[in-house]
């Protein structure tokens, strides 16, 4: 499936029916959401020859900066507008998120270079898209989905950087797209204080639930070391076959330890919005955990502080707190090819 067809189907339909059987666990507490800034586009990232891009998955680098990893990227401000690359990445030294993230440089030099060389639309795959990036000690690990047409994952893999994102090499970790019934494709991860990295994952079709796995922090590049969380014989336990921990239609995911809790934000494709959950641990019951809609999908021409047309993504920016959350949110007007950009939103009062 072409990228435009795929996203037009899941983003352009407006508000669609809620997922059957999904409990209404969202609380009534109001949050205050507002757009802080556009982060990419003309006048912002065209100096890196990347006027059109999306995703912007952020992490704190070992040297203390922030690294944002972007998906399909083009030189001109339109999808397909020359010099197609993915993934690419930008650094930021911003400390005051309320004033908006500013870019300090691009991986690769003056122009943002693809993080590793490959040809797009080759006979095996068409593009490589980032799922999530994590810093463990002095290294960063980037999980990516290798796609032959968007939504058709041919495999996933993990790359590593030992210089705060300046260069990347393949770890050797490669995952079949069909494991766990196709629910281990698009993932997010966060490191606990117990020596484990916890991984939430789903399919890359925006119509599937999420599952949970864990892996020792020092074994993150060993596919055989990932241990599923599942329900069997009346008990949830590690090592059981992976069982969905939350039903729904999940798109991009972002799981982070934050403020003594764990936070999951995601693009809720079924309800056309970005939602968030605060939990005590990654194994908490997500049906009863505190849940809130953070940004609603909207129509073009009718956007406001918490209604965004054709939104997706929703990644937590380092420096956020539970009560003052900053998100990298993508937007793509699929029928025109622009806007196709990343924006920063601030959510106050979530936690």
**Whether the predicted pLDDT of 14 surpasses 50:** no
Structural domain including 322 reads 127-348
Q: What percent of the chain has pLDDT over 90?
A: 90
Alpha-carbon span 131 to 258, nearest angstrom: 20
The sheet carrying 340-348 orders its strands as 32-38, 340-348, 324-332, 311-316
Question: Which H, E and C letters describe 38-105, residue by residue?
Answer: ECCCCCCCHHHCCCECCEEEEEECCCCCEEEEECCEECCCCCCCCCCECCEEEEECCCCHHHCCCCCE
Instruction: Concatenate the DSSP letters of all residues of 145-170 into one string.
Output: EEESSTT-EEEEEEEEESSTTSS-EE
Establish if 38 belongs to a structural domain. no
> Is residue 265 scored above 80 in pLDDT?
yes
Residue with token string 């993932």: 187
The C-alpha atoms of residue 343 and residue 327 are separated, in whole angstroms, by 8
Task: Give every CB contact of residue 117 below 8 A, 6+ residues apart in sequence.
Answer: none
Could you tell me if residue 121 is left (phi over 0), alpha (psi between -120 and 50 degrees) or otherwise beta? left
What mean pLDDT is predicted for residues 217-231?
A: 98
Contacts within 8 Å (CB) and 24+ apart, 182-185: 182/208, 183/208, 183/209, 183/210, 183/211, 183/242, 183/244, 184/156, 184/211, 184/213, 184/242, 185/131, 185/145, 185/153, 185/156
**Alpha-carbon distances of 97 from 264, 296, 317, 327, 345, rounded to whole Å:** 20, 22, 9, 10, 10
Evaluate if residue 78 carries a pLDDT over 50. Answer: yes
Cis peptide before 87 (omega within 30 of 0): yes
Report how many domains make up the chain: 1
Is 312 domain-assigned?
yes
pLDDT for residue 132 is more than 50 = yes
Tell me whether residue 117 is in a domain. no
Q: Is 256 helix (H, G, I), strand (E, B) or coil?
A: strand
* Predicted local distance difference test score (pLDDT) of residue 29: 63
pLDDT at 281 over 80: yes
Domain assignment present for residue 319? The answer is yes
pLDDT > 50? residue 16: no
Please provide the average confidence, as pLDDT, over all residues in the chain: 93
Segment 344-349 shows an average pLDDT of: 98
Instruction: Give the per-residue pLDDT at 339.
Output: 98
- On whether the CB atoms of residues 49 and 90 are closer than 8 A, the answer is no
Token pair for 230: 């599942």
Dihedral sign for Cα atoms in the order 266, 264, 178, 19: negative
48 domain-assigned? no
Confidence of residue 3 (pLDDT cuts 50, 70, 90): low
Query: Buried b vs exposed e over 19-54: b needs ≥16 C-beta within 10 Å?
Result: beebeeeeeeeebebebbebbbbeebbeebbbbbbb
Q: What is the CATH number of the domain that holds 281?
A: 2.115.10.20
Query: Residue 9 has which token pair?
Result: 């189907």
Query: Which two three-digit tokens encode residue 59?
Result: 């992490």
pLDDT at site 151: 86
The strand pairing partners of 38, in sequence order, are 343
Q: Looking at the domain assignment, is residue 15 inside a domain?
A: no
pLDDT the model gives residue 2: 56
| pLDDT tens sequence across 145-154 | 999 988 899 9
| Residue 313 pLDDT exceeds 90 | yes
Q: Across-strand partners of 216?
A: 196
Phi-psi region of 151 (alpha: psi -120 to 50; beta: other; left: phi over 0): left
- Residue 243 within any structural domain of the chain: yes
Domain annotation covers residue 215 = yes
| Per-residue model confidence as pLDDT tens digits over 82-128 | 999 999 999 999 999 999 999 999 999 999 999 999 999 999 999 99
pLDDT in tens, 240-251: 999 999 999 999
pLDDT in tens, 136-189: 999 999 999 999 988 899 999 999 999 999 999 999 999 999 999 999 999 999
Q: Residue 24 pLDDT more than 80?
A: no
């Amino acid at each position: 499936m072409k990228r435009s067809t795929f996203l037009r189907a899941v983003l352009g339909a407006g508000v669609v029916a809620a997922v059957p059987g999904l409990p209404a666990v969202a609380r009534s507490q109001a949050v205050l959401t507002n757009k802080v800034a556009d982060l990419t586009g003309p006048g912002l990232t065209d100096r890196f020859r990347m006027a059109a891009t999306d995703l912007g998955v952020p992490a704190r680098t070992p040297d203390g900066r922030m690294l944002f990893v972007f998906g399909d990227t083009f030189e001109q401000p339109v999808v397909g507008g020359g010099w197609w690359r993915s993934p690419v990445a930008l650094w930021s030294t911003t400390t005051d998120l309320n004033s908006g993230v500013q870019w300090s440089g691009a991986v690769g030099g003056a122009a943002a270079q693809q993080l590793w060389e490959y040809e797009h639309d080759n006979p095996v795959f068409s593009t490589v898209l980032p799922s999530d990036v994590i810093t463990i000690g002095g290294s960063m690990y980037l999980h990516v989905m290798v796609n032959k047409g968007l939504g058709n994952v041919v495999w996933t893999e993990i790359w590593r950087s030992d210089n705060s994102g300046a260069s990347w090499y393949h770890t050797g970790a490669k995952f079949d797209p069909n494991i766990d019934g196709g629910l281990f494709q698009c993932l997010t991860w966060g490191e606990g204080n117990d020596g484990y990295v916890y991984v939430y994952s789903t399919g890359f079709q925006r119509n599937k639930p999420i599952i949970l796995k864990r892996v020792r922090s020092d074994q993150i590049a060993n596919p055989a070391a990932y241990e599923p969380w599942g329900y069997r014989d009346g008990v949830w336990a590690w090592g059981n076959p992976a069982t969905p921990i939350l039903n729904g239609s999940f798109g991009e995911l972002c799981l982070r330890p934050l403020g003594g809790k764990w936070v999951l934000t995601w693009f809720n494709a079924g309800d056309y919005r970005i939602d968030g959950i605060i939990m005590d641990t990654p194994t908490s019951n997500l049906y009863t955990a505190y849940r809130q809609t953070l940004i609603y999908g909207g129509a073009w021409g009718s956007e406001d502080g918490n209604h965004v047309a054709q939104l997706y993504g929703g990644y937590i920016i380092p420096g956020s707190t539970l009560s003052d959350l900053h998100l990298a949110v993508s937007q793509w007007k699929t029928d025109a090819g622009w806007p196709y950009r990343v924006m920063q939103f601030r959510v106050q009062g979530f936690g």
